[in-house]
Amino acid sequence: MKHLFIALLITPLLMFGQTDNPFKNEVRSIQEKNDSLWDSSKPTIVFTGSSSIRFWEDVQERFPEHQVLNTGFGGSQFSDLEFYLDELILNYEPVKVFIYEGDNDIFAKKRPRKIVQRAEYILGVLQQRNPDMEIVLISAKPSISRWKYRGRYRRLNRKLERLASKTEGIYFLDVWYPMLDKRKVKQDIFIEDGLHMNDKGYDIWYDVIKNYID
């Protein structure tokens, strides 16, 4: 199998450490909740990433035939996920993980190329530690509050799709275009802040993701 071991050789990325743990308490709470739910004897699917995952409270109910754990932590970026790969993904030995990151990275004015470099490193670590796990990258979504950054989000999505296409065991899932009404973002799929989705928004995600679950 072709994995992302080359990413592990990118020494500058190895220097991307974090000196503080802003999500430490939240991650601990996520662990405690999921440890109480997790049945290690059953195949596990993990959904992780930033607040669009964290607020998907009925993700297990949407896929009742599978054991699904939600380890999303709000406000996170790829660099934060890297810091908690064991706690949020690997400790649960999932057969598949869905990752939603990049939304906050773009908002933090990180360049798409740098974001994808970090993503590539993370994927390499995951594939090295659990070679049989399938990884699905969920595209950045459009939103009302961040619509002015749409060009950067589209560039990021193209780069993530390219990364997935060249790597065995990695898949790219597009939620960007299903959330558009022609060339504008749908207005009725968000809560008041214009960033986080309501049930209609998650209905769109479900319709796309269900094809990648099995």
Interval 119-136: pLDDT, tens:
999 999 999 999 999 999
Mean pLDDT of 184-204: 98
Do 78 and 102 meet the contact criterion of CB atoms below 8 Å apart? yes
Set out the domains of the chain in order of their start, with CATH numbers: 43-213 (3.40.50.1110)
Backbone angles phi, psi at 20, to 5 degrees: -130, 165
Interval 90-120: pLDDT, tens:
999 999 999 999 999 999 999 999 999 999 9
Task: Tell me what pLDDT residue 6 has.
Answer: 45
Q: Whole-angstrom distance between the N-terminal and C-terminal Cα of the chain?
A: 20
214: pLDDT confidence band, cut at 50, 70 and 90? confident
Helix (H, G, I), strand (E, B) or coil at 97: strand
How is residue 190 annotated by DSSP? B
Interval 166-181: pLDDT, tens:
999 999 999 999 999 9
Contacts of 148 (CB under 8 A, 6+ apart): none
Task: Tell me what pLDDT residue 20 has.
Answer: 65
Three-state SS for 107-165 is: HCCCCHHHHHHHHHHHHHHHHHHCCCCEEEEECCCCCCCCHHHHHHHHHHHHHHHHHHH
Mean pLDDT of 149-170: 97
- Cα dihedral sign, 214-174-69-87: positive
Reported pTM: 0.91
Task: Tell me what pLDDT residue 196 has.
Answer: 98
Do 44 and 67 meet the contact criterion of CB atoms below 8 Å apart? yes
Do 140 and 153 meet the contact criterion of CB atoms below 8 Å apart? yes
